[in-house]
Structures are given as C-alpha cells and as structure tokens.
Amino acid sequence: MSAPLTTSVDAPIVPRPLPTKTFWGRALRHRSFVLGGVLSLLVVASAALSLVWTPWSPYEIDIASKLRPPSAAHWLGTDSFGRDIVSLLLAGARSTILVGIIAVSIGLTFGVCLGLIASAKRGWTEEIIMRFSDFTFAFPAVLSAIMLAAVAGPGMLTSIIAIGIFQIPTLTRLTRGSANAIWAREYVLAARASGKGAFRITIEHVLPNILSILIVQATIQFALAILAEAALSYLGLGTQPPQPSWGRMLNDAQTMLFQSPMLAVYPGAAIAIAVLGLNLLGDGLRDLLDPRLARER
Amino acid sequence: MADPATMPLIEVDNLGVRLNTSRGPAQAVRGVSFALKRGETLGLVGESGCGKSVTALSLMGLLPDSAVITGSIKLDGRELARLPDADYCSLRGNRISMIFQEPMTALNPMHTVGHQVAEPLRRHKKYSAAHARREAIALLDRVGLPDPARRIDAYPHQFSGGQRQRVTIAMALACEPDLLIADEPTTALDVTIQGQILDLIADLVEERGMSMILISHDLGVIAENVQRMMVMYGGTVVESGPTDEVFRRMGHPYTQGLFRARPKLGARKGTRLTTISGTVPELADLPVGCAFGERCPLVEDKCRVALPPMVEVGPAHVVRCVRTDVSMAANVGALSA
Amino acid sequence: MTAVPLLDVKDLQQRYTLRRESLFRPPGQVRALNGVSVQVAAGKSLGIVGESGSGKSTFARVVMALERPTAGQVSLLGRDLNRISPDELRRARRDIQMVFQDPYGSLDPRQTIARIVAEPLTVLDDADRTTFRARVAAVLKQVGLREADMDKYPHEFSGGQRQRIAIARALITQPKLIVADEPVSALDVSVQAQVLNLMQDLQEQFGLSYILISHDLAVVDYLCDEVAVMYLGRVVEQGRPEDLFERCAHPYTRALLDAIPRARPGGGRRRRGAQAIASQSAAAAGCPYVARCLLADQHCREVPPLLRRVGEGHLAACHKAEAVMALPQAAVEG
C-alpha cells in the first residue's frame, strides 16, 4: 500500500467585497462603452445645439469671405461659398441624426416584424420572407436610392426611405436567427405546454430575450445609415442644398481638394467620429448586455 | 534517484487554486495532496463545484491564465506547477492525457478522426504521416471502433456518442501516457454504453501500466473502477482512502449523506430518501470553518471556527472531520446496508 | 368497477421524415414511436425507462400534445387530445402539465418567478388575475420556497431550487397528471434526493399522477407504481417495479439492470459483453433487440415478438421471456 493521502490547508481566504454589479456600475468601467458614449453624445449634442444656436447661419452665403482660414470669427474657416464651417458641421449633424433615426426605425420596424413572423411560422412563410430578404439584400442602398430618386426625385425623404429599405434584410435575418434560437429553448416548450399560442410566446418570451441583440445591432445600423446618408448626399441623391449635411460638405469640398484640402477633412472627421462612436457604443452594449456577465441585476 | 517502481509517478502537495469567477475570486481548490504510483488508480468524487475538475485541469496545466496556483505538482520528481505553457505542451497528450465528459466538444468537427488520433503521434513522436496513420488504425481497433481502416477517414459527427468517446480514448492513449485523467468520461453516455467504456478504460490502464485519475459524481462508478478514492467538497478533500475501506466504513458526514441520498434500486415507492439539507455552496463565498458545516447534521461550534484537520480512522483512511467519533458510530457504508 | 383511466394511450406511432439526401431516393424515416399503448390510472404513476433513441422524450411530447402523432390516440379523461378543438385543448391542459430536464433552460431568464409560475394560469379563460400572486405564493410554499422569492429572477436560484420553481409552475393549475422528463438527472445527488422526496410528498398530498421519464431505474423504482421499458420506440417490458427489477423478463431490461454501477465495497468490475448498437431507421423483420441479444436464435430473427403476459400485470415482448426470468437475477442494492 502506498503512503496515506495526506492533506493540509493554507490560510482561509477572506471573502473580498463583490464588485458592483449594477448596469451603470459596470458600464462606467467599460472603456469602449464610455468612449463610444462620449463620441455619440458629442454628435447628438451638436445637433441639439444647432437647433437653437450656431455661430453663423449655415445658409448664409457670403462669397466675399470665401475660403477663409481658421480665425477668431470663423473657428474652422469658411467654405467656397463663404459659409461658416463650424455652423455647417453643427447643422449637418442634425440631418445626419434625423436620417439615421428614421431609417433605422424603418429598418427595425419591418425587419424585426418580418424576422419574428418567419421564426414563429416556419415552413413556407419563413421561406418566402427569407428569399424576399435575400432579394432586397442584393441591391446596394445606393442603387435603390438612384432608382427611387429617378421615380420620386432626390431629397432627404428619398434617401431616408432608400436607407431604411436597405436596413430591413440585415435586421430580418438577425431577428430570425436569434428568434429561432429562443424558439428552441425549453422555456418556450414550457410555454407551449401550458397552451400559449405563437403570438403570445413571441411577445412574452422571444422578443424580450432578443432585445439586447437588437439594441446592439441598431447602433451598428445607425452607423451604417450615417455612412449611407453621407454617400448619397455626396452623390447628390440625398439631402439637397441649401440643407447642410456632412455628405454635401464632402461633395462641395471635392472640387476644392487642391486649394483647401481641409474642407474635406472636417466633414470626413465628423463622419468618422459619429461612426466610430456608435460602433464602440454597440461593442460596449454587447458586452454589458451579455447575461453571462450580468449575473446580478 | 529512487527505484521507479516505488517512487510516486505523480505527487501533489498542498495544491491550491484560486480562480476569478463572475462572483469574485474563489479558492476553488485548497490543500489537496496525494501521490500516485505507476499502475495505481485514484477516484475523485464530489458534486458540481467541489473542485474535482479544477484539480484535474491544474494537473494538465489547462487552468486559465488568471488562476493562481500554490503548492506543488511533481511528475517523476519534476515540478509542474507554474511551468511555462510551452513546456507543458510537450507533456500534454504525451505523458499526461485527459478524456473529457463531452466527446463531441473534445473532437474537432472539421478534421477526420484519423487525423485527430494521429496528430499527437506526429507532434510528440515525430512519426511520418504513413506511420502515424497505421498506428492510428491500430489504436482505433484497440478501443473497439468497428472497421477502423475504413472509418478512419470519417468525421466525428458520423459516430455515435459511445463511439466518439472511444475515439477520444484512442487520442488520449496515442503516445502511451503515464497518467490518464478521465473527467466524467461516461456521464454523457447511456448506462449500457457507460459499462463498456469503463471496461475499456480499465483494460487499457491495466495493459499499459498507466496510472489513472477517474473523476465522477457517481459513487457506483468510483466503487467499481478505482483502488483509492478522495471525496471532495467545497474545494477540499473531506475523506480519502482505499475504495473498499471507504465504502465499508464511511467517516465523513458528507460522504455518508451522498451515499444515503442516492436512490437505490429496490427502494420501493413509499420509502423516503435521506437528504442533505441545503445546497452546494458557491466557491466564492465558502464558510470559514468546515465547508460542509452549514449542511451537516453533526455540526458544532468548533466546526465553524477553522477547517477541521484530517483524522486517521483506518489503514490509510483519513477524514477531515472533528466529529468522527459520532459519525463513524452511525456505521454508514455497505456493512450497514 | 372500470372507470375511465386518467390517461389512455393507444397504439401511438410517430415517424419523422429526414432531410432528403438525394433527389432520386425517397427521404429516410425515423420511427421514433412504434405502437406504444399504456394507461395511467388516477393517482398512480408510470415510469418510462430507456436509453437515448428509445423514443421516451418523443412519447412525452406527443402525450403533452406538443406534437401530432402519425397514428394512434392520446386520451386524457376520455378526451382525445388530437381530436378536440384548440380551445378545448387549451382548457384540457389545466389537467396535464410538464416538468423539464434542464432547470437552467426551462425558466425564461428575463421573467420574474411570479410570472414564470403563473404562466399556465394566464391561458385559462376563467383565471382571475388579481388572485395570481396569492396562488403563486401558495404553490411556492408547497414546493418549499418562500413567498419573498416571487419577485426574484431565475439566475438567483440554484439548480435544485429552479427545479422546484418548475414543479411549482406545473402544480399551479392543480393538474391531475404531471409529465416529468428526466426531472432530476441534471441535479447533484444531494439535491436530487430533495426533489424526489418533494415529488413523492406532492403526490400523496394532491393525489397526482406522474409520467416519469428517466434513464435511471432507481429513480423510477422510487416514484412509480408501474414501469415501462422502451427500446427503439416500443415498450419491450412493462409491469410493477418489483416484478420488473426482481424478475425481469426481457434481455434488454436485464442489460440495463446489469449496467448500473453498484456503490459497495469489493464490487470490483463486472464484465459486460460487447453490444452492437441497433439503428432506429432499419425496419428489420424480427425482434428489434436481436442484434444485442445473447439469447437470440433464428426464430427471434424472423418473427417479431409481441407484448404478452408473463405474470400478474407483467408484460414482455420476448419469445424467451420465461428463460430470461429463470436466469439468476441481478442483485439488488439494499
């Protein structure tokens, strides 16, 4: 027989206080969530500010003072029509956010409904919805916008609708995929066993459980919408003059690229900040809403 | 150097593991010590969160980077605790192998089983592809996979659960390890398949003179398959000794409770199971004294003050309890049954 | 007196069509249930035992009317669950509830315990919402939880407590039958005993019936009045636990009994014969167990055995049942 199995023990551990587990407690320590939140808030604040105050009027054309370098009066200078860049950026944030919110709302409303229906009904309904969504997905936003503009004429509304439609298939797929995973859970089986129908199960069990995924995706889609809006405005299919927009500013700057390259850098940087901010926010939300990390409510 | 026949193959001394869990830091393993010679088998038994799997993973060097290991783990006299991962890689699958509970997740679905069995041979033994393939066929044949020469190019999903576990056993055995760790190898399998797999493992251990650590929550599996056993609770070993000895006279109230709580065939409707009150404690907030104190029918004030010492109650049979005089008098075990 | 049985299952069959692998060959079929007939009397419990692929979980889903069977009928108190209208079915569900295996997956993580437990009530037309909380509180007390637990979420409970919550949800409509699919197999041994005792107490208190589906013979033995052993979608042996486990008449039951590891000293290992694994899709001519059976002969390979009487209330589907019963029986743990 071998030596007896002996054991000894080191000093008992003193339980440390558990880290704060509230959502905001964890959120404020999450680096990319905080950075993303600050950048996104900056954009929203600019848009809000432009409603009540801008240093100059963003519509006022003053050819005499065109292409001024940064000064005390014009902090970032003026563009080729003599409009104040800061004012244009602030007012541009407004149309960016407006287009983003409405387009993402369109995408979410239709995409989530279609995805939930596909997942609840299965069979032919799912097949038709998903093939339709593949079909829509095959058209880039720019192409649908061009087609829409050809019919309805270019403008902010056209670009909102085009971007919104472009958002639908992505969200339909995401919703269907996540909802299917929930439908396979035992608690849904339990709900069916107690006699609940597909509609009530969708509202009471499926939707609440995929909500965090949808929120995260919505921030990413918002960023994509901003990019799409800028692209459409740049092509002249989106926001029409004199309504300022970051995409239009890029378009105007294009012709001046060699005389004053900074004109393109400002709106470019604004777009980059908004997109980066929303993406970081989405990443942060994904971590924070993960139930495995949020054991304590 | 001492004679290899009497020197322990693996020697664990005062092993402690501290993990970072979602509920804060937890002392998952405290003061575990044991020694195992070549050809010996040891069983670890306990419920979820008792530290048995963490103990196994620390032997394999597979704990997360954030884990803090104290104490020592010696393989043939060589210290393994806190060994750099690169050095561990040459031991894993070569001198120490592990079989896991869920064969489907232990196998890579994208590779053929032949490739996966041959891989450790190519890496550790530097076999040629053809040589490793021949060896893999022989191994798959040995673990009882039907028609191995043809099935070697099949993918894991094309096998049943029991057959997949046979494949992971072949993988674990490829380099003829000295120590085999089997972590709940049959929990995911049906009862009739469980018997076959345990028979196979026992045969191979005997045939190759390996040592084995078998981890299970099932007292029956432990009773039938290992020479010595350790019962773990709350990260500590609460009872250990030769299997027959422990089953003849259980010393720790927890071992006794576990034994009594099992529904036994022949216990007809109307009889009641003896339960252990309460639930398994979270490792992150263990009590200061005996980990079992809150659920123990024999608990006294002194149990709650400090962790009880190990008490020898029979030949090589030790119990971590200050109340063995009372618990042993109850005579729980096969003699009373 | 021959009253209507609580549950009457007649010749239940369930076939699943596999995904078509070739355009030119008919898609494969899995026969999950192959003519299962059982009855459960009020207040009595039936255990269903079998390994994976035996069809025992399919049986549970069909009995719960979560799936429509290919053929056969399930009658609860004389009502055929597959013939009645959806409204009637919804009302009938008051009498038949289910407890699932996974205590982590069967409770919606985003709902409070009060909402989870009250769920079966919300589909009943006559349920008065103002009484829900009082009823939840009462039923939580019955399963050994506190009223204060009502507003917590599932993640705040351990596995055993979650299974108590799942049992509370099944109890709240005061059902006559609870179908429990492996209710304790995901729990630790020490907690398993608590849940099994609770299930037994509730049965005595409310005169419930259980259909207990389990791979663990000891669990079924502890809780049931009658046991059916399933193999490849068929009942191969059925009877009272004492008959089944002390005088088993089917070689498969025998193999299951032999395979249980015994917790006792000096047990050592008992050798078991190698066994082939049969397939669900192959519809062979003879006995489905023939490939694994040590007693099989030519007759077994050609003629499928029917379920027949081998003793008082004891049925077995084996040509050689008498020979199996004459074998020295596996020792039973005391």
Beta sheet of C177-181, edge-to-edge order: C96-99, C177-181, C209-214, C46-49, C226-231, C234-239, C314-316, C308-311
Partner residue opposite B23 with nearest CB, options A10, A13, A18: A18
Could C262 and B223 be called an inter-chain contact, meaning their C-beta atoms sit closer than 8 Å? yes
Residues 249-308 of B with CB under 8 A from C: 257-259, 261-269, 271-277, 279-280, 295
pLDDT for residue B89 is more than 60: yes
Output the DSSP codes for A241-295: TTS--HHHHHHHHHTTTTT-THHHHHHHHHHHHHHHHHHHHHHHHHHHH-TTT--
| Per-residue model confidence (pLDDT) at position C264 | 79
Could C106 and A205 be called an inter-chain contact, meaning their C-beta atoms sit closer than 8 Å? no
Mean pLDDT over the full length of chain C: 86
| Poorest-pLDDT segment among A4-13, A25-34, A169-178, B244-253 | A4-13
Note whether C197 contacts B: Cβ–Cβ < 8 A: yes
Decide if B264 contacts C334 (C-beta within 8 A).
yes
Decide if C136 contacts C151 (C-beta within 8 A).
no
| Gyration radius of chain B's alpha carbons | 21
pLDDT digits (tens, 9 = 90+) for C34-63: 899 999 999 999 999 988 888 888 999 999
Note whether B238 contacts C: Cβ–Cβ < 8 A: no
| Per-residue model confidence (pLDDT) at position B317 | 94
CATH fold for the domain made of A26-51+87-289: MetI-like fold (1.10.3720)
Domain shared by B117 and B208, yes or no: yes
Q: What is the mean pLDDT of residues A67-95?
A: 83
Q: Which residues of A touch C109 (CB under 8 A)?
A: 209, 291
| Per-residue model confidence (pLDDT) at position C20 | 67
| Per-residue model confidence (pLDDT) at position B334 | 55
pLDDT digits (tens, 9 = 90+) for A50-68: 888 888 788 877 777 777 7
Distance from the Cα of C86 to chain A's closest Cα (Å) equals 9
Note whether B218 contacts C: Cβ–Cβ < 8 A: yes
Domain shared by C253 and C186, yes or no: no
| Gyration radius of chain A's alpha carbons | 25
Distance from the Cα of B306 to chain C's closest Cα (Å) equals 24
| Per-residue model confidence (pLDDT) at position A12 | 36
Q: Is residue B47 part of a domain?
A: yes
Q: What is the DSSP letter of C27?
A: P
Q: Is residue B78 part of a domain?
A: yes
Q: Which residues of B touch C266 (CB under 8 A)?
A: 244
Could A4 and B312 be called an inter-chain contact, meaning their C-beta atoms sit closer than 8 Å? yes
Q: Which residues of B touch A12 (CB under 8 A)?
A: 288, 306-307
ipTM of the complex model: 0.84
Could A9 and B236 be called an inter-chain contact, meaning their C-beta atoms sit closer than 8 Å? yes
Q: Kindly indicate the confidence band of residue B161, based on its pLDDT and cuts at 50, 70 and 90.
A: confident
| Per-residue model confidence (pLDDT) at position A17 | 38
Note whether C108 contacts A: Cβ–Cβ < 8 A: yes
Domain shared by B212 and B250, yes or no: no
Domain shared by C84 and C133, yes or no: yes
Domain shared by C211 and C252, yes or no: no
Q: Distances in Å between the alpha carbon of B119 and those of B99, B152, B153, B238?
A: 16, 13, 14, 39
Q: Is residue C216 part of a domain?
A: yes
Structural domain boundaries enclosing C70: 39-224
Q: Which two tokens stand for residue C51?
A: 């390994």
Could A189 and C100 be called an inter-chain contact, meaning their C-beta atoms sit closer than 8 Å? yes
Could C269 and B247 be called an inter-chain contact, meaning their C-beta atoms sit closer than 8 Å? no
3-state secondary structure of B200: helix
Please give the tally of structural domains in chain C.
2
Question: What is the percent of chain B with per-residue pLDDT over 90, rounded to a whole number?
Answer: 41
Domain shared by C99 and C130, yes or no: yes
Could A208 and C110 be called an inter-chain contact, meaning their C-beta atoms sit closer than 8 Å? yes
Domain shared by B169 and B254, yes or no: no
Q: Which residues of B touch A6 (CB under 8 A)?
A: 33, 310, 318
Bridge partner residues of C17 (DSSP): C29
Please give the tally of structural domains in chain B.
2
Burial A68-98 (b: 16+ CB within 10 A, else e): beeeeebebbbbbbbbbbbbbbbbbbbbbbb
Domain ranges across chain A = 26-51+87-289
**Residues C66, A121: Cα–Cα separation, whole Å:** 15
Query: Model pTM?
Result: 0.84
- If you measure CA to CA, which chain C residue comes closest to A196? C123
| Per-residue model confidence (pLDDT) at position B272 | 85
- If you measure CA to CA, which chain C residue comes closest to A205? C108
φ/ψ of C231, rounded to 5, equals -145, 125
Could A16 and B24 be called an inter-chain contact, meaning their C-beta atoms sit closer than 8 Å? yes
Q: Which residues of C touch A208 (CB under 8 A)?
A: 108, 110-111
Note whether C224 contacts B: Cβ–Cβ < 8 A: yes
Q: Is residue B334 part of a domain?
A: no
Give the chains touching C; criterion: ≥3 Cβ pairs < 8 Å: A, B
pLDDT digits (tens, 9 = 90+) for C201-241: 999 999 999 999 998 888 999 999 999 999 989 999 999 99
The H or E element that residue C254 is part of is: helix C251-259
Partner residue opposite C98 with nearest CB, options A185, A190, A196: A190
- If you measure CA to CA, which chain A residue comes closest to B232? A7
Q: Is residue B2 part of a domain?
A: no
Domain shared by B103 and B166, yes or no: yes
Domain shared by B76 and B120, yes or no: yes
Mean pLDDT over the full length of chain B: 88
Structural domain boundaries enclosing B315: 244-264+274-281+289-329
Domain shared by C185 and C254, yes or no: no
Q: Which two tokens stand for residue A293?
A: 């990390």
**Residues B18, B31: Cα–Cα separation, whole Å:** 12
| Per-residue model confidence (pLDDT) at position C18 | 75
Partner residue opposite C263 with nearest CB, options B47, B223, B275: B223
Helix residue ranges per DSSP H, chain A? 23-27, 31-52, 85-121, 123-137, 141-152, 156-183, 186-193, 198-201, 207-234, 246-254, 262-289
Q: Is residue B248 part of a domain?
A: yes
Domain shared by B189 and B253, yes or no: no
Domain shared by C218 and C315, yes or no: no
Question: What is the percent of chain A with per-residue pLDDT over 90, rounded to a whole number?
Answer: 27
Domain shared by B60 and B148, yes or no: yes
The H or E element that residue B233 is part of is: strand B228-233
Domain shared by B141 and B29, yes or no: yes
> Of B163, B256, B269, B277, which to mutate for an interface test with C (greatest number of C Cβ within 10 Å)?
B269
Domain shared by C209 and C167, yes or no: yes
Tell me the one-letter amino acid at A4. P
Q: Which two tokens stand for residue A129?
A: 């919805």
List of chain C residues with pLDDT < 50:
1, 274-282, 332-334
For Cα atoms A189, A193, A198, give the angle at the middle one, nearest 5 degrees.
65
Distance from the Cα of C88 to chain B's closest Cα (Å) equals 35
Q: Which residues of A touch C93 (CB under 8 A)?
A: 193-195
Q: Is residue C127 part of a domain?
A: yes
Using alpha carbons, select from A246, A101, A245 the residue that is nearest to residue A167: A101
pLDDT for residue A296 is more than 60: no
The backbone region for A15, taken as left when phi is positive above 0, alpha when psi lies in -120 to 50, beta otherwise, is: beta
Note whether C89 contacts A: Cβ–Cβ < 8 A: yes
Q: Which residues of A touch B23 (CB under 8 A)?
A: 18, 295
Domain shared by C44 and C157, yes or no: yes
Note whether C97 contacts A: Cβ–Cβ < 8 A: yes
Q: Which two tokens stand for residue A64?
A: 């005499």
Q: Is residue B308 part of a domain?
A: yes
pLDDT for residue A200 is more than 70: yes
Note whether C52 contacts B: Cβ–Cβ < 8 A: yes
> Of C21, C264, C289, which to mutate for an interface test with B (greatest number of B Cβ within 10 Å)?
C264
Q: Are strands C7-17 and B228-233 parallel, antiparallel or unpaired?
A: unpaired
Domain shared by B103 and B140, yes or no: yes
The H or E element that residue C17 is part of is: strand C7-17
pLDDT for residue A2 is more than 80: no
Could A295 and C105 be called an inter-chain contact, meaning their C-beta atoms sit closer than 8 Å? no
pLDDT digits (tens, 9 = 90+) for A32-45: 899 999 999 999 99
Note whether C156 contacts B: Cβ–Cβ < 8 A: no
Residue B94 sits in a domain of what CATH number? Answer: 3.40.50.300
Q: Is residue B5 part of a domain?
A: no
3-state secondary structure of B249: coil
φ/ψ of B149, rounded to 5, equals -65, -30
